[in-house]
A and B are shown apart, each in its own frame.
Chain A
Amino acid sequence: NAGVTQTPKFQVLKTGQSMTLQCAQDMNHNSMYWYRQDPGMGLRLIYYSASEGTTDKGEVPNGYNVSRLNKREFSLRLESAAPSQTSVYFCASERRRGNNSPLHFGNGTRLTVT
């Protein structure tokens, strides 16, 4: 049982390049989330998908787009990377948004934008 799987684990981009971060969960969870983690700050929500077919902005959505491909997969796209997007990105899933169940996290993608 893999839980939440993220790819790639590491990525270096030049300013202006684009990339897609992939996330898949095998727990049959309905809700999925993308967070970024920066030193000294708490995890900040970028986008979420409460259920298949829906996506919504979180606290820091600018510069990002998401796609809920199916119930298992939720991708995050950076169209034109900026140095401010250097961070560790975590995908998480939840049984169902709003029922106060815990988030389950992947092991992150470490992104550097030069």
Chain B
Amino acid sequence: EDQVTQSPEALRLQEGESSSLNCSYTVSGLRGLFWYRQDPGKGPEFLFTLYSAGEEKEKERLKATLTKKESFLHITAPKPEDSATYLCAVTAGNYGQNFVFGPGTRLSVLP
């Protein structure tokens, strides 16, 4: 069964303290890995899509990387406004392209 797990469940950082969030997946035939940001009371907001191992994408203080088993979301010098829940999701061939979502990592950045 295709699975997506995320760690840690929650992360608390001081402003400026860089760290990484992990998304591990077990799927047959990865087609794409997606990162989303979700603010409290809002829907997920799309950040990145990664398609193949070795690929990297950047946006402001965020950089997403992909290997054959996992993806990392690196947050460099975070600010309080980066506080949110970060979700990852995968699409794979044997799921008929349905997205499989992880449970998310809740990030808090303290000033």
Interface positions of A (Cβ within 8 A of B):
4, 40-45, 48, 58-59, 90, 92, 97-98, 100, 102-108
| Residue of B46, B101, B102 ringed by the most chain A CB atoms within 10 A | B101
Q: Using Cβ atoms and an 8 Å threshold, which residues of chain B touch A90? A: 43-44
Residue of A nearest to B32 (CB): A100
Q: How far is the CA of A102 from the CA of B101 in the complex (A)?
A: 13
Q: Using Cβ atoms and an 8 Å threshold, which residues of chain B touch A43? A: 44, 87, 89, 99, 101
B14 within 8 A of A: no
Q: Is B99's CB under 8 angstroms from A105's CB?
A: no
* Interface hits, B29-48 → A, CB 8 Å: 31-32, 34, 36, 41-46
Residue of A nearest to B44 (CB): A105
Encoded as 1 (CB less than 8 Å from any A CB) or 0, chain B from 81 to 111 comes to 0000001010100000111111110000000
Interface positions of B (Cβ within 8 A of A):
4, 31-32, 34, 36, 41-46, 49, 51, 87, 89, 91, 97-104
Q: Is B87's CB under 8 angstroms from A108's CB?
A: no
Q: Is B102's CB under 8 angstroms from A105's CB?
A: no
Q: Is A103's CB under 8 angstroms from B99's CB?
A: yes
Q: Given B46, B49, B99, B103, which contacts A45 in the complex, CB threshold below 8 Å?
A: B99
Interface pairs (17), CB distance under 8 Å: A42-B89, A42-B100, A42-B102, A42-B104, A43-B99, A44-B101, A45-B98, A48-B98, A90-B44, A92-B43, A100-B31, A100-B51, A100-B91, A100-B97, A103-B44, A105-B36, A105-B43
